[in-house]
């Protein structure tokens, strides 16, 4: 039976949505009006390299078995949906229409899978070792998540890297690093079984008989999605510099010893709150993958472009680390630099 899946965010969300469409499920993308109109006219296109192929394949939604539409937040609602995917960046949930939609989703008690780098605060409440109230200072507006039942929220590590090409329409997405989504189980076995069945169907889906990378992998551990925290602090947030942003590859490999040290510090924080070594990605594996990440992170690009707010996983990790007396000077420098840049952006935007 096809699921009806509501995806908040039509950029990164279109990658997950495409995988669901390939598996025969129905997807609604929530986005701005012009993008919704474009998608409803022309569908979406996700470009991804298949194993053994030099050029990316263009996977168009109108050629897939699932059904796709797009709506603005004002015209979207949770009625009739089985699953909600949270694929916007955290500050975007402050927009009045999106925040109102979130409130309707929470009231309808629809299970939610977050693809955000910044975990919804409701998810952190599932982890006794985290003081969620102390962590709230890292959020643009923590109250956005107050109405959500933590047992209906789970988290996925958004390891695949994708971006909209600058010279293409907003319905096109290019996958730059075709790794897997790694999701933690829901509190409810029923909802976990639904997500596991979706993962199996995505795994089985083929394109002209060929396997397509980017899978959904299920894990019982609540900490597997936090494996990306080490990567974000070692690479993504260190793309922010006093000048122009640098590529993730350069942030990691310019001083590989420092990168290894930062990675280990974040590992110690994540393990202190309950993760096991097997939940995490070894540094050498990440460093090898980072060689292919030749653009600055989305957070660094947004900050350089003048964004007054950004996802603050850097600050979240620093705050959680301080709960256990774990700090690192390089992490503190990164947090201070991002704080200063955002403060300047806010003054300029005022």
How many angstroms separate the CA atoms of 19 and 17, rounded?
A: 5
Phi, psi for 30 (deg, rounded to 5): -100, 125
208: left (phi over 0), alpha (psi -120 to 50) or beta: left
How many angstroms separate the CA atoms of 335 and 343, rounded?
A: 12
End-to-end CA separation in angstroms for the chain: 50
Q: Taking CA 314 as the corner, what is the angle to CA 311 and CA 315, rounded to the nearest 5 degrees?
A: 90
The answer to whether the beta carbons of residues 293 and 177 sit under 8 Å apart is yes
Q: Hey, what domains does the chain have and what are their CATH numbers?
A: 4-219 (3.40.50.720), 224-349 (1.10.1040)
pLDDT in the model for residue 91: 93
pLDDT in the model for residue 166: 85
How many angstroms separate the CA atoms of 302 and 239, rounded?
A: 11
Rg of the Cα trace of the chain?
19
Q: Number of C-alpha atoms within 13 angstroms, CB side, residue 185?
A: 9
Residue 13 in 3-state DSSP?
Answer: helix
The answer to whether the beta carbons of residues 82 and 6 sit under 8 Å apart is no
Phi, psi for 349 (deg, rounded to 5): -80, -15
Residue 192 in 3-state DSSP?
Answer: helix
How many angstroms separate the CA atoms of 210 and 207, rounded?
A: 5
pLDDT in the model for residue 186: 98
Cβ neighbours of 348 (radius 10 Å): 9
Residue ranges of the chain with per-residue pLDDT less than 70: none
How many angstroms separate the CA atoms of 26 and 58, rounded?
A: 20
pLDDT in the model for residue 177: 85
The answer to whether the beta carbons of residues 21 and 64 sit under 8 Å apart is yes
How many angstroms separate the CA atoms of 46 and 60, rounded?
A: 7
Q: What is the pTM of this model?
A: 0.95
pLDDT in the model for residue 173: 97
The answer to whether the beta carbons of residues 30 and 92 sit under 8 Å apart is no
pLDDT in the model for residue 314: 97
pLDDT in the model for residue 102: 97
Among 72, 147, 75, CA closest to 109:
147
Each residue's pLDDT tens digit, 28-64: 999 999 999 999 999 999 999 998 898 999 999 999 9
Among 55, 91, 39, CA closest to 349:
91
Q: Which H or E run includes 193?
A: helix 189-204
pLDDT in the model for residue 135: 96
How many angstroms separate the CA atoms of 143 and 69, rounded?
A: 30
């Amino acid at each position: 039976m096809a699921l009806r899946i509501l995806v908040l965010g039509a950029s990164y969300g279109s990658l997950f949505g495409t995988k669901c469409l390939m598996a025969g499920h129905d997807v609604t993308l929530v986005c701005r009006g012009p993008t919704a109109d474009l998608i409803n006219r022309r569908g979406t296109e996700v470009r991804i390299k298949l194993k053994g192929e030099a050029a990316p394949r263009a996977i168009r939604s109108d050629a897939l078995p699932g059904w796709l539409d797009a709506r603005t937040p004002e015209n979207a609602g949770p009625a009739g949906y089985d699953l909600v995917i949270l694929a916007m960046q955290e500050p975007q949930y402050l927009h009045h229409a999106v925040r109102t939609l979130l409130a309707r989703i929470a009231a309808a008690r629809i299970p939610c899978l977050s693809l955000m780098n910044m975990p919804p605060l409701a998810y952190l409440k599932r982890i006794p070792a985290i003081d969620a109230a102390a962590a709230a200072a890292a959020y643009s507006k923590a109250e956005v998540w107050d109405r959500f039942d933590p047992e209906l929220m789970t988290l996925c590590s958004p390891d695949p890297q994708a971006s909209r090409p600058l010279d293409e329409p907003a319905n096109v997405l290019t996958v730059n690093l075709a790794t897997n989504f790694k999701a933690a189980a829901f509190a409810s076995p029923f909802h976990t079984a639904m997500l596991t069945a979706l993962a199996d169907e995505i795994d089985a889906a083929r394109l002209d008989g060929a396997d397509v990378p980017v899978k959904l992998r299920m894990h019982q551990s609540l900490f597997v999605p936090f494996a990306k925290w080490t990567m974000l602090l070692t690479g993504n947030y260190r793309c922010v510099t006093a000048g122009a942003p640098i590529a993730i590859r350069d942030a990691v490999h310019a001083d590989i010893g420092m990168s290894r040290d930062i990675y280990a510090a974040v590992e110690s924080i994540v393990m202190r709150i309950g993760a096991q070594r097997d939940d995490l990605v070894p540094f050498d594996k990440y460093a090898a993958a980072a060689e292919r990440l030749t653009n600055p992170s989305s957070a660094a690009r947004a900050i350089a472009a003048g964004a007054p707010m950004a996802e603050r996983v850097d600050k979240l990790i620093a705050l959680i680390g301080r709960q256990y007396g774990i700090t690192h000077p390089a992490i503190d420098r990164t947090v201070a630099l991002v704080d200063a840049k955002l403060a300047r952006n806010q003054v300029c935007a005022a």
